[in-house]
Amino acid sequence: MVDDHTLRLDIKTPLDQVGDESGPVLARAEADDARSVADRLVDAVRGDGLGVAGPEATRRALEHGQVDELLIDLVVDLDEDVRAAFVRQAVSTGARVEVVEDHTEFRRLGGVGALLRYRHG
């Protein structure tokens, strides 16, 4: 491995070794992406209004079909049935779902939120 995002392997590297060595790189890239999306949500909630945070605001946005991307922190205390309903509703409207871990500001906002396609009324 050269750095956190670059992996150098010989062309003859066995497939199982490729998987073993690429797994951590892919996991870091996914975590970085989730943190970036959470940063955008925090900015949207505080700024332009194209973000909502907290279970109730997220539920309303999902009901109105506003959600472009649903963000959920699995550590936050949220009833599993509610979490599952949010994910089902997001998927049914074509919204993406992102699991966010270890993002302090997002947790302060309730650990659940959404980037919106549009503002409602």
* CATH number, residue 63: 3.30.1330.30
Residue 38, classified by CB atoms within 10 Å of its CB into exposed (0-12), middle (13-18) or buried (19+), is buried
Helices assigned H by DSSP within the chain:
15-46, 55-63, 80-92, 104-108
Q: Is 53 helix (H, G, I), strand (E, B) or coil?
A: strand
pLDDT digit string, tens, across residues 10-66 = 677 777 776 676 667 666 766 666 778 889 999 999 997 899 999 999 999 999 999
Count of positions (residues) in the chain = 121
* Position 5 in a domain: no
Query: What's the domain count of the chain?
Result: 1
Distance of alpha carbon 89 from alpha carbon 2, whole angstroms: 41
Distance of alpha carbon 113 from alpha carbon 54, whole angstroms: 6
Of 35, 33, 62, 66, the closest CA to residue 49 belongs to 66
The whole model's pTM is what?
0.76
* Position 19 in a domain: yes
DSSP, res 12: T
* Position 2 in a domain: no
The token pair at 7 is 């992996």
What's the domain range around 96? Answer: 15-116
pLDDT digit string, tens, across residues 64-84 = 999 999 999 988 888 999 999
